[in-house]
Amino acid sequence: MTAAHLRKPPGTDSTIPAPEEEGTVPRRRQEIMKWNGWGYSDSRFFLNEKDQVKFTGRRYSLSGAIIPGLKGWMESTFGADILHKISPAPALNSSAVQSPILYEAFLVELKSTGIPFSYDAEDRVFRAHGHCLHEIFALREGKIGRVPDIVVWPDCHNNVVKIVELACKHDVCLIPYGGGTNVSRALECPPEETRSIVSLDTSQMNRILWIDEKNLTARVEAGIIGQDLERLLDQRGFCVGHEPDSLEFSSLGGWVATRSSGMKKNIYGNIEDLVVHMKMVTPQGIIEKGFQGPRMSTGPDIHHFIMGSEGTLGVITEVTMKIRPKPEFKKYGSVVFPNFEMGVACLREIARQRCAPASIRLMDNEQFKLGYAMKPQASSVFTSFLNGLKQFYITKFKGFDPTRLCVATLLLEGNREKVLQHERQIYGIAAKFGGLAAGEENGQRGYMLTFFIAYLRDLAMDYYVIAESFETSVPWDRVLDICRNVKACIVQKCKEKGVKFPPFASCRVAQTYDTGACVYFYFGFNYRGLSSPVQVYEQVEHAAREEILANGGSLSHHHGVGKIRKEWMRETVSDVGMGMLKSVKDYVDPNNIFGSRNLL
């Protein structure tokens, strides 16, 4: 399973180094990131002195904007009340963090390598969690569970090799850390783990090692985050095009380890379509292919042992990715449908004709209302008038029911002439299903809304509202059933569990394939009056996942399994499949050095 070190491809005239630049996220993440919420510390929703929702900071198109409809939406949807506010813990209380378990012999040898490490409480807590609801809820209350004992920052493949060798020698538990955006409890330290736990933070492995312009590939260190990868490639006129919702903060290694999917997969593919070669350091040595061509027929593909392994086998250190010249033209669009059923039928037809744009996502009526509520204050009276005119045209002149209509957002990329031709084709198909073109601005706003949703949860939690998202993939003939039944299940379970306010349950068709689609669910509820809100939430989500499986949906489309979904793994991959996965784990990591306990 160990191959020689992969050399640069032949033809140095086509292979160029990437620029040396600092990554966006520093080693001490707390310098710019929230410790108990999503994203940048300077970016958040809040109620100003006029009780209007405003978004702070300067990083986003929404920064500094007033969102006039959001407060009313929260009040009408959740029964939120500005008089009932709960503030999170303002700062991390280091005394609440347990003392680290340190192995002196391990530390002595680690120091001799010169690799930076820390057992500072803040550094450890930052790497003890992802962004599941229960993780963030606990942090907001100042509750700290088991955390890594040491954080270590290798800056290259060879340093990872040294750390893994030392961990094996001293029986230290390793948990790889990329961007920390997971929603599967994958980073949660097992409370029963008695060994010293080391968080192996790959964030300093953030370079593009080379770009091969002839073969359109790039060799990239796995700790690079998505926005930095695209920014650096853009400087050379290229892109990868992989844009998960967490693009700003998630890492390349994390994408591979969870088999991630991106918003523009219709053109660029999912992560498994983009990887040409990868390297992983395991307790048994280095796994990599001795070949980096487009395809090989040499038995089962070892890449598929690595992709989706979720930190249980080793550390992904370097990945060779497909790249493309950056598109010369980009255009957003949107379509309003009279109802969700017509919208799904349209997306099915677009998939059948294999003419899907880079991104096409269909929001149900509940998500449409959320998107509308997040619209920033109109810049002028004229703009406000035009918006009202459009709404009148759709609801009055065309007769669309505001309580049933739904919206699809589009993104098209490529050659200008082909994009415009493609756009006409899609709008032509949409018209056959009652769809009306709703403008480029709405399409762009809908696409960018993805990056604000996670920030919105922090605001909601200030007013006793907890919310989360989960996803699945499903055959086309079950899409409508699964959307209807899962939302109904959420409403019913909330009622059974004593939730005193109507829950928010919504969905969108987020990705399309020849044979089915990815469906993304959002749900949340006002937990005032509940003594154990997180427990109630987890019971409702568990019931929703059971409903997904009963309706023919997958366990996960791109979030992965982690610890939160592993109880269903056996029925998902079969007894024999579980035996195969365990056999690989037992061979590659017989002493469970990579002891996150994800998947199995």
CA distance 369 to 362: 13
CB 349 within 8 A of CB 433: yes
Task: Measure CA 348 to chain center.
Answer: 25
Tell me which residue of 282, 337, 267 sits closest to 3, measured CA to CA.
Answer: 282
CA distance 177 to 325: 30
CA distance 231 to 25: 14
What ranges in 449-551 are assigned the alpha helix state H? Answer: 450-462, 479-496, 533-550
Query: Which residues on adjacent β-strands are paired with residue 408?
Result: 335, 362
CA distance 389 to 384: 9
Look up residue 101 and give its two tokens.
């378990």
Query: Which residues on adjacent β-strands are paired with residue 199?
Result: 151, 175
Look up residue 52 and give its two tokens.
């209007």
Q: What's at 134, amino acid-wise? A: H
Tell me which residue of 424, 231, 415 sits closest to 327, measured CA to CA.
Answer: 415
CA distance 193 to 180: 20
DSSP string, 105-159: HHHHHHHHHT--EE--HHHHHHTS--S-HHHHHHHHTT------SEEE---SHHH
Look up residue 272 and give its two tokens.
């498994």
**CA distance to 86, 170, 460, 503, 529, per residue, from 80 (Å):** 12, 52, 8, 12, 13
587 part of the active site: no
CA distance 348 to 365: 19
**Is residue 395 left, alpha or beta, with left meaning phi > 0 and alpha meaning psi from -120 to 50?**
alpha
CB 525 within 8 A of CB 77: no
CA distance 181 to 253: 12
Q: How many helices (H) and strands (E) does the chain have?
A: 19, 22
| Three-state DSSP class for residue 45 | strand
CA dihedral 348, 349, 350, 351 (to 10 degrees): 50
CB 171 within 8 A of CB 217: no
Q: How many CB atoms lie within 10 A of CB 111?
A: 10
Long-range contacts of 308-311 (CB under 8 A, 24+ apart): 308/257, 308/258, 308/259, 308/560, 309/257, 309/599, 310/184, 310/186, 310/257, 310/258, 310/560, 310/561, 310/562, 310/596, 310/598, 310/599, 311/175, 311/176, 311/186, 311/257, 311/594, 311/596, 311/598
Of 447, 520, 522, 527, the catalytic one is 520
569, containing H or E segment: helix 569-588
Q: Length of the chain, please?
A: 600
Tell me which residue of 304, 184, 259 sits closest to 473, measured CA to CA.
Answer: 259
First to last CA, the chain: 22
**Known catalytic residues?**
520
